[in-house]
């Protein structure tokens, strides 16, 4: 297979959104579980487990959006204008959750803290759900015109398959977040969250299995590339192994390896999604000939090349910052004066 | 109301609200770097206390800046899809570069700045603060480059026709260093430094008037005043060169900014109102020839007037005029205020003169208003173009988005941003009243 610039950019945008799913995935998941903890200290530990990193994690979404805008402007324009209300609901949820983290512990009143706890948790669940709904629609396909403009409305985005992918995303992030929280906590809270991990895995597996069946039955275009390249089934297999490995590592007390397994599960899921869609970026359903592909939606070759240079310069730096920050803030959360 | 107006109102509202915060993080970033450098050099714990206090204020503005900034990143696609297709190659590249080079740097090291005092040494902490400030400046670089390309497009060619027309990059560096980007970047950054510096001045003056945390306030005030005076005086230079650039590159905007109708030697107005019917500026004080003098250093040279532009190529005149004049007026007041501060400092009366301190308390609003008015002048003065001379704002909308959808999102934004702003002001006030002592978490009991 000849690899061209468009494919490289499809991969790079995929990497940015995968980075987002791994990183913001766990802090959205921590948010989704937040209300299950009861005492103020527990909630502060939950918040501070993601405190130093959540805004860096959201940068992956911002940069992914920027990269999509630069490399595939038609996809950016069609998806964001087509999903208008859904995108704004997602933004409102992300805003509430972001400021809730910052505001919550700034005042001692119980009503104040409870209010922001709820904002944080509901915002996290709702954001995860909407991200899943958008992904579900991209997989299912949306009605496009010959000019690649969205031809449906807001309600037509909320079909059962998209809602199912939304739910699956919430479940995935809850599992991922629970494992992260296990890794960052100690004592009674650690044991409590550990006991949630199995439930979270079961919840996720049920959603995942249902979503997979639905995809095989009703979204056949997602399977075409896998049928043509059977070797890619390895991804599905690795994905299952990674998920199966999580309870094993938790049992052995190796929380960090459990988290790595969970990351591997997220990465393989994103890869399966990307390969399923490829070489389309947005499938038109009906009228597949109007689909946005990595070719008809892309910027000029010159722009892709310039941006590739920028990415090659930037990505090592980004990885260096990310790794150092996680290294500096490794270990269990301790509350101190600068904590949230 | 029609779709175009609503979409413009929504963009203006969300970006103006967002722009309360980034200038504060840029300006406070510089001041934090100075405070930590002084701490490293002197080991005087007062500087560390100052750095920690201003970091708490910084964190508050940063969080809202991030939350409202994500909206901006997505809004080009949601409301201006045709524009996005047209400029994706260029505008998108700048936004992506901003993400990769600025946001990761800023948000990564921010973790150390906020939570790293006990995790890393003072040198590493200083380095992190420096990187956060640098990241904030980089982000200004890319966003001003992107916006300046809309004002003075360069380094591109147009491919395709009609609905399929798009701008493609031919020369990346010409695109980055387009004719207005460096002038406007300098002007924007100094405006941001002013925003941070006058906030520090304001809070310090408040403490001095209350006779609280006096040492802390005096030292903060000196640092704030140094940055304020440098930035304010430099605004004369950057503002002047920006205006000269506008006269060359966007003559219709300059003519609107000064209400200059007839091509010929241009007058300068201190204030007034543009009368479109009579084609002149009503009221105010007029300085004949001064506009020509400022631009060409020759009071008799002709300046292109609005008569050179058909009516449908002119920006809204009085609005642009008032925004521009408001900005200039506030800018001049800020220069005067900061110089006055230096004079009083030299005379040893800076910390005791009650009326000056009272003015300083309110001065924080000056840069905020000047920054907003300046951007309104720049963006409204560019109309009716979204990309100057190439694409009209009215042709740039999303084709699938309806008036009701924009109305719905605009109402939601109004409610949410109003709440956010109220909480921000409340918390800022609490933090300022709490003062530089470290914050304790006394609250810790069972909920449920």
| Interface touch B84/A69, C-beta < 8 Å | yes
Q: What angle do CA B145, A80, A28 make, to 5 degrees?
A: 95
Domain assignment present for residue B389? The answer is no
**Rounded to an integer, what is the distance from CA B225 to the centroid of its chain?**
19
Q: Which pLDDT belongs to residue A1?
A: 67
Of B81, B98, B111, the CB nearest to A56: B111
Residue B390 lies in a domain: no
Residue B448 pLDDT grade (very low, low, confident, very high; cuts 50, 70, 90): very low
Give residue-wise pLDDT tens across range B345-368: 998 888 888 899 999 999 999 999
- Residue from B17, B69, B74 whose CB has the most chain A CBs within 10 Å, to mutate: B74
- Smallest Cβ distance to A98: which of B67, B88, B103? B67
Give dist(CA A106, CA B426) in Å, integer.
11
For A300, the closest chain B residue by CA position comes to B168
Residue whose token pair is 């892709």: A304
Does the residue B388 lie in any domain?
no
Do B196 and B171 share a domain, yes or no? no
Cis peptide before B384 (omega within 30 of 0): yes
Q: Which of B93, B400, B427 sits opposite A150 (nearest CB)?
A: B400
Q: Kindly determine whether residue B81 and residue A77, on different chains, have CB atoms separated by under 8 Å.
A: yes
Does residue B133 share a domain with residue B274? no
Distance, in Å, from the CA atom of A35 to the CA atom of B448, rounded to the nearest integer, reads 10
pLDDT digits (tens, 9 = 90+) for A168-185: 999 999 999 999 999 999
The DSSP annotation for A49-91 comes to HHTTTHHHHHHHHHHHHHHHHHH-HHHHHHHHHHTHHHHHHHH
Which residues from chain A sit within 8 angstroms of residue B438, using beta carbons?
337
Q: Give pLDDT tens digits along chain A (340 positions).
A: 688 999 999 999 999 999 999 999 999 999 999 999 888 888 888 888 888 888 888 889 888 998 999 999 999 999 999 999 999 999 999 988 988 988 888 888 888 889 999 999 999 999 999 999 999 999 999 988 888 888 888 888 899 999 999 999 999 999 999 999 999 998 888 888 988 988 999 999 999 999 999 999 999 899 989 999 999 999 999 999 999 999 899 888 888 999 999 999 999 999 999 999 988 999 888 888 888 999 988 888 888 998 899 899 988 898 998 888 888 888 888 877 767 7
Q: B370 and B423: one domain?
A: no
Q: What per-residue confidence (pLDDT) applies to B439?
A: 65
Question: How high does pLDDT run on average in chain B?
Answer: 89
Give the range of the structural domain holding residue B233, as residue numbers without chain letter: 181-249+251-381
- With respect to residue B73, please indicate whether it lies within any of the assigned structural domains: yes
Q: How many domains does chain B have?
A: 2
pLDDT at residue B271 in the model: 80
Tokens 């508050």 found at:
B60
Q: Determine whether the interchain pair A324/B108 forms a contact, defined as Cβ–Cβ distance below 8 Å.
A: yes
Q: Cβ separation of B73 and A317 shorter than 8 Å?
A: no
Inter-chain contact A99–B63, Cβ cutoff 8 Å?
yes
Residue B392 lies in a domain: no
Q: Are B190 and B336 members of one domain?
A: yes
Q: Does A150 touch chain B (CB under 8 A)?
A: yes
**C-beta separation of A46 from A181 below 8 A:** yes
Rounded CA gap, B182 and B188, in Å? 10
Mean pLDDT of B63-84: 90
State the average pLDDT over residues B85-93: 89
Are B255 and B317 within one domain?
A: yes
Residue of B nearest to A107 (CA): B427
How close A164 comes to chain B (CA, Å)? Answer: 25
Residue A24 pLDDT: 93
| Residue B69 contacts A where some CB pair is shorter than 8 Å | yes
Indicate yes or no: CB of B85 within 8 angstroms of CB of A77: yes
B166–A73 CB contact, under 8 Å: yes
Nearest by CB to residue A92, choosing from B62, B93, B416, is B416
What sign for the dihedral angle of Cα A76, A79, A85, A87? negative
Structure-model confidence comparison of residues B304 and B377, the more confident one:
B377
Is A135:A273 a contact under the CB 8 Å cutoff? yes
* Residue B338 included in any domain: yes
| Same domain, residue pair B205 and B167 | no
Q: Where are the domains of chain A?
A: 5-328
Chain B residues 412-431 with CB within 8 Å of chain A: 412, 416, 420, 423, 427, 430-431
Three-state SS string across chain B, please?
CCHHHHHHHHHHHHHHHHCCCHHHHHHHHHHHHHHHHHHHHHCCHHHHHHHHHHHHHHHHHHHHHHHHHHHHHHHHHHHCHHHHHHHHHHHHHHHHHHHHHHHHHHHHHHHHHHHCCCCCCHHHHHHHHHHHHHHHHHHHHHHHHHHHHHHCCCCEEEECCHHHCEEEECCHHHHHCCCCHHHHHHHHHHHHHHHHHHHHHHHHHHHHHHCCCHHHHHHHHHHHHHHHHHHHHHHHHHHHHHHHHHHHHCHHHHHHHHCCCCCEECCEECCCEEECCCCEEECCCEECCHHHHHHHCCCCCEECCHHHCCHHHCCCHHHHHHHHHHHHHHHHHHHHHHHHHHHHHHCCCCCCCHHHHHHHHHHCHHHHHHHHHHHHHHHHCCCCEEECCCEEHHHCCCCCCCHHHHHHHHHHHHHHHHHHHHHHHHHHHHHHHHCCCCCCCCCCCECC
The answer, for B81 touching chain A at a CB cutoff of 8 Å, is yes
Is it the case that residue B103 has pLDDT exceeding 50?
yes
B1 contacts chain A (CB < 8 A): no
The structure tokens listed for A199 are 């439930």
Contacts of A91 in chain B (CB under 8 A): 70-71, 74
Q: Would residue B284 be called left, alpha or beta, if left means φ above 0 and alpha means ψ between -120 and 50 degrees? A: left
> Using 50, 70 and 90 to split pLDDT, how confident is the model at B326?
very high
Query: Chain B residues with CB inside 8 Å of A79's CB?
Result: 77
Q: Say whether both B236 and B344 belong to one domain.
A: yes
Same domain, B56 and B114: yes
Which residue of chain A is at minimal alpha-carbon distance from B110?
A: A52
């Amino acid at each position: 297979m000849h690899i061209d610039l468009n494919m490289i950019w499809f991969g790079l945008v995929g990497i940015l959104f995968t980075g987002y799913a791994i990183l913001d995935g766990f802090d959205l998941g921590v948010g989704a579980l937040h209300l299950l903890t009861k005492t103020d200290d527990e909630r502060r530990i939950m918040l501070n487990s993601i405190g130093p990193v959540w805004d860096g994690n959201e940068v992956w979404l911002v940069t992914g959006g920027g990269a999509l805008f630069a490399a595939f402007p038609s996809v950016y324009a069609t998806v964001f204008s087509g999903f208008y209300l859904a995108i704004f609901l997602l933004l409102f949820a992300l805003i509430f959750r972001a400021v809730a983290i910052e505001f919550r512990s700034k005042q001692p009143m119980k009503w104040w803290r409870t209010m922001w706890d709820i904002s944080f948790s509901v915002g996290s669940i709702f954001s995860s759900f909407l991200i899943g709904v958008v992904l579900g629609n991209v997989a299912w396909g949306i009605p496009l015109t010959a000019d690649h403009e969205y031809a449906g409305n807001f309600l037509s985005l909320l079909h059962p398959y998209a809602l199912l992918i939304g739910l699956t995303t919430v479940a995935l992030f809850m599992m991922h977040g629970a494992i992260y929280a296990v890794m960052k906590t100690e004592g009674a809270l650690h044991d409590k969250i550990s006991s949630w991990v199995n439930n979270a895995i079961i919840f996720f597996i049920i959603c995942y299995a249902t979503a997979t069946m639905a995809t095989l039955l009703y979204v056949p275009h997602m399977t075409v590339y896998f049928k043509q390249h059977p070797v890619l089934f390895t991804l599905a297999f690795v994905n299952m192994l990674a998920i199966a490995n999580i309870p094993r590592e938790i049992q052995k007390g190796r929380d960090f390896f459990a988290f790595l397994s969970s990351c591997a599960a997220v990465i393989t899921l994103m890869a399966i999604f990307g390969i399923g869609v490829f070489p389309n970026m947005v499938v038109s359903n009906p009228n597949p000939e109007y689909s946005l592909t990595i070719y008809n939606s892309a910027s000029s070759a010159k722009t892709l090349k310039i941006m590739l240079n920028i990415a090659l310069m930037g990505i090592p730096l980004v990885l260096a910052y990310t790794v150092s920050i996680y290294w500096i803030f490794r270990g269990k959360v301790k509350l101190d004066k600068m904590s949230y | 109301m029609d779709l175009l107006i609503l979409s413009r109102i929504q963009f203006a509202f969300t970006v103006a609200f967002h722009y309360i915060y980034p200038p504060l993080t840029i300006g406070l970033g510089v001041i934090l770097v100075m405070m930590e450098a002084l701490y490293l050099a002197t080991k005087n714990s007062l500087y560390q206390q100052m750095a920690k206090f201003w970091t708490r204020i910084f964190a508050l503005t940063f969080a809202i800046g991030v939350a409202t900034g994500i909206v901006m990143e997505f809004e080009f696609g949601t409301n201006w899809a045709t524009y996005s297709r047209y400029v994706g190659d260029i505008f998108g590249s700048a936004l992506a570069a901003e993400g990769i080079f600025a946001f990761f740097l800023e948000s990564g090291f921010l973790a150390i700045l906020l939570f790293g005092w006990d995790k890393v040494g003072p040198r590493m902490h200083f380095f992190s603060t420096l990187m956060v400030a640098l990241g904030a400046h980089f982000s200004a670089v890319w966003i001003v480059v992107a916006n300046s390309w809309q004002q003075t497009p360069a380094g591109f060619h147009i491919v395709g026709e009609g609905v399929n027309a798009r701008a493609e990059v031919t020369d990346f560096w010409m695109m980055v260093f387009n004719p207005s980007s460096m002038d406007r970047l300098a002007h924007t950054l100094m405006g941001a430094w002013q925003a941070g510096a006058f906030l520090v001045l304001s809070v310090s003056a408040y403490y001095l008037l209350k006779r609280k945390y006096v040492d802390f306030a005096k030292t903060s005030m000196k640092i704030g005043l140094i940055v304020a005076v440098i930035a304010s005086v430099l605004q004369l230079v950057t503002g002047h060169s920006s205006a000269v650039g506008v006269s060359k590159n966007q003559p219709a905007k300059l003519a609107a900014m000064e209400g200059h109708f007839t091509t010929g030697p241009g007058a300068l107005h201190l204030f007034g109102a543009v009368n479109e019917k009579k084609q002149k500026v009503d009221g105010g004080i007029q300085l004949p020839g001064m506009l020509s003098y400022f631009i060409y250093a020759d009071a008799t040279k002709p300046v292109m007037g609005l008569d050179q532009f058909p009516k449908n190529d002119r920006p809204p005149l009085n609005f642009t005029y008032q925004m521009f004049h408001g900005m200039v007026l506030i800018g001049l007041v800020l220069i005067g205020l900061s110089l006055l501060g230096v004079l009083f400092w030299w005379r040893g009366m800076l910390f005791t003169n009650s009326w000056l301190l009272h003015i300083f308390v309110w001065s924080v609003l000056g840069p905020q208003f000047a920054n907003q008015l300046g951007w309104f002048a720049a963006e409204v003065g560019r109309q009716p173009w979204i990309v100057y001379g190439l694409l009209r704002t009215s042709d740039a909308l999303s084709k699938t988005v309806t008036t009701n959808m924009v109305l719905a999102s605009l109402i939601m934004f109004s409610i949410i941003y109003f709440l956010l702003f109220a909480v921000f002001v409340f918390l800022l006030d609490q933090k300022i009243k709490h003062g530089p002592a470290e914050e304790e978490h006394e609250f810790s009991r069972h909920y449920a």
